[in-house]
Chain A
């Protein structure tokens, strides 16, 4: 998946969780800043991303997942490491 694809997948997940399919979410936004977002959705998002990309977040990362862009980079990094055969 391209970095853009990753960002798009995260964006769609966020929209799914909020049930607002057409919502424009800027990549510099933290999900927690969105109207209607909750700590509950934050957990759900983390778990859904782990499933979708077959990755694990560390406890530190779970603490603050950052903006959509930062989240996409984090996932990209993890995917890259997996492709390199490193955990």
Chain B
């Protein structure tokens, strides 16, 4: 919904929140439930109301637990909070919740002690939540102080409040890097972006106890919803960009290669260069880039031979240039990238093209670009569409995978039969229980995979952790490599044991390794592990979704017998390995 996308009209959202909520609830979409505990150290009423809108907008069905006394709530041994079974605990704290800020007469030791005691206080809360609920914790860091008794010295003498807050924020960052379930809501950045004077309203604090101005709440919630959506793997995955007057200045079909603008020193060129550089950064962290341009294909490609272009053709995972309507090209791009159109973000300077895409493919996020190119980058950045939850090594390598994919496709064309091609790939697989090291990637894969996904189950990072250490569960991960490179972790199976029965709760595989018999290799290993654990029967379950038709017949093809909703395999019979082309180490 446009009202809930950047740039936000905070007054409009606050005034029409009931209508916006009703309209969101009228949208026909399947909404997974989400249990959010909001623990405040200041008034939270409006935060809850507005956050609900942004989470509904993200396709979730949130239910809330609210409390104004964050410390008591967490430390209370009766634990109404934990009985709520939150998926996410949000600690909405800010400067007003610190026990005290340094005073000019404090000694350096006193300030150090103050810092240590505040850290200890929050560490204790996080510890307690982590041990009582296997949920994600989203924690505000701190905004800069609204006033500076020491003036500019405040930023650098030990007694300075600005310095104190900076130091506390650094320690929060360290804690979040160390704790896998702690995520920061960076209100330090957000309040700077908005301006401290618009962030903090003394009147609203004194009169109603709000630690931030009402006008800032929609901004807070927009940011927070992006963090929560990212935790659930609901961030978007690909940016589709137009060429003329978007990626570069000018129209290549008319101005020619020498006429388009992306050179240093040229004001318009600089703005396009900054956008290109940002796109490269998105790509480095795993966002797939694609081009959708109304151009003659040869002419469109020619633009990438410009000496000053930052983006190279091989950075693009899909390239559509032609004269068909853009919505049709977007559908093709999604197909090329094995994504649904709801994973795409569309960047185009032309309002008519944007309007057409908005109307035809409402699930695509369309960035409302301003008229002037210098505003493009900010608009894209603030959208929050690509918020990552963690920086996964595999993401950084994804661009390389896509290149290796192209080489594999070339090799496939050189072979007449599939079996010959698969043998030529010289595939090797490692299939073993997920290690701590693989955990972030495994979790990400579970959140992201839609097509080869038998049950569609999603897990919170904490839940996955619990299953990994459970004696009654097997969490198996598979990585596949071949002569063109390594594909990384691309398949996960979670099986639950109940006496002599093993049940497959989750079976997913990345589309990158479809038709490589990798699912057969995984299946052989699952059978082997289950037998070793003494299981006599293996149960499978296929839960249809709009995207997983691909695996509707999987259990049938593997020799399972249908029993009502379930599929069953007798493990006491002899098992002939199904995979014939992958060499497996387990």
Contacts and interface: CB of A to CB of B under 8 A. Distances in A.
B513 interface: no
Contacts of A38: 45
B16 A59 contact: no
Interface in A1-53: 13, 16-19, 38-40, 43-44, 47-48, 51
B214 A43 contact: yes
Contact of A48 (B11, B19, B206, B207): B11
Contacts, number: 49
B14 A40 contact: no
Given A17-B15, A17-B18, A19-B19, A44 B203 contact: no
Contacts of B213: 47
A57 B215 CA distance: 15
Interface string B326-359: 0000000000000000000000000000000000
Contacts of B203: 56-59, 62
Contacts of B49: 40
Nearest to B207: A62
A43 B208 contact: yes
B45 A16 contact: no
A43 B206 contact: no
Interface residues of B, number: 20
Q: Which of A38, A44, A56 has the most CB of B within 10 A?
A: A44
Interface string B218-235: 000000000000000000
B2 interface: no
B99 interface: no
Contacts of A17: 15, 18
Contact of B46 (A43, A48, A57): A43
Contacts of A59: 203, 206-207
B266 to A, nearest CB: 40
Contacts of A39: 45, 208
A18 B204 CA distance: 21
B210 interface: yes
B207 A16 contact: no
Given A43-B208, A48-B11, A63-B207, A19 B18 contact: yes
Contact of B214 (A18, A47, A57, A62): A47
A13 B204 CA distance: 19
A38 B208 CA distance: 13
Q: Which of A38, A48, A56, A63 has the most CB of B within 10 A?
A: A48
Contacts of A13: 15
A44 B46 CA distance: 9
A44 B210 CA distance: 12
Contacts of B17: 44
A47 B49 CA distance: 16
Interface string B8-43: 000100111111001000000000000000000000
Contact of A47 (B18, B19, B22, B215): B215
A40 B46 contact: yes
A16 B215 contact: no
B523 to A, nearest CB: 54
Contacts of B16: 16
A43 B15 contact: no
A44 B214 contact: yes
Nearest to A13: B15
9 contacts: A16-B15, A17-B15, A19-B18, A39-B208, A43-B46, A43-B210, A44-B214, A57-B203, A62-B207
Interface of A: 13, 16-19, 38-40, 43-44, 47-48, 51, 56-59, 62-63
Given A16-B16, A18-B18, 10 more contacts: A16-B19, A19-B18, A19-B22, A40-B45, A40-B46, A43-B207, A47-B11, A47-B14, A48-B15, A59-B206
The 5 closest A-B pairs by CB, nearest first: A19-B18, A62-B207, A40-B45, A47-B214, A51-B11
